[in-house]
Amino acid sequence: MVGAAASSAEQAKRRKYENLDNSLIFVPFGVETLGPRGPEARALFKELSKRVIESTGDPRAGSYLGQRISLAIQRGNAASILGTVISRTFKILFSFK
């Protein structure tokens, strides 16, 4: 099911941070690697989009916010992938020929 991992992550975050001070507002924001959001993340995003549109008067502002979040996720994905690639320097160092 699309979004199941994000939903599960939100539940885990809620359990992890259940003892936070009640004066704080905590919203777990679960997002999967390819972008699907968990239910609480979707609700928060919808509310933030609405407020950004109201404050800017630009109906595209909500879409722009979504694009920024998606771009941040993809940058993180790229960093994770690139972090597993061994550079040429390391290949030379670890070559046992």
**Where are the chain's structural domains?**
4-93
Supply the mean pLDDT for the chain. 87
pLDDT digits (tens, 9 = 90+) for 38-65: 999 999 999 999 999 999 999 999 999 8
pLDDT for position 88: 65
Confidence class of residue 11 from pLDDT cuts 50, 70 and 90? very high
Confidence class of residue 79 from pLDDT cuts 50, 70 and 90? confident
Position 93: which residue type? Answer: L
The pTM of this model reads: 0.72
pLDDT for position 3: 84
- The conformation of residue 36, written as its DSSP 8-state character, comes to P
Long-range contacts of 75-78 (CB under 8 A, 24+ apart): 77/33
